């Protein structure tokens, strides 16, 4: 049988897990900025998929917009490139 425990509200955004007005404001601002970026990205994708270029160009630009191109920087972040002078 489960025992009843008192509910607790936790603020999980930050190192100390303490809510402050500043932390709440910053989180809200980030959320709004992210929504604006997502709308811009959606419009960019609509434009990209609507233009008449070869599919491989569309896929490359799509990956570029999502920061998913296999650059040395990205490969290193994913642990796939051990040194910056590795040949890709």
φ, ψ of residue 39 in degrees (nearest 5): -65, -45
For residue 61, give the nearest of 76, 77, 50, 72 by alpha carbon.
50
In tens digits, the chain (88 residues) has pLDDT values of: 778 888 877 777 767 777 888 888 888 788 877 777 788 888 888 898 899 998 998 899 888 888 777 777 777 777 776 665 655 5
Per residue in 20-54, is it b (16+ CB within 10 Å) or e — as a string?
A: eeeeeeeeeeeeeeeeeeeeeeeeeeeebeeeeee
pLDDT of residue 23: 83
């Amino acid at each position: 049988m489960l025992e009843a425990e008192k509910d607790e509200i936790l603020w999980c955004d930050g190192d100390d897990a303490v809510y402050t007005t500043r932390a709440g404001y910053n989180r809200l601002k980030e959320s709004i900025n992210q929504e604006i970026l997502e709308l811009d990205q959606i419009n960019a994708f609509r434009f990209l998929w609507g233009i008449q270029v070869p599919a491989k160009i569309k896929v490359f630009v799509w990956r570029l917009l999502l920061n998913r191109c296999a650059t040395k920087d990205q490969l290193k972040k994913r642990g796939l490139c051990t040194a910056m002078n590795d040949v890709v």
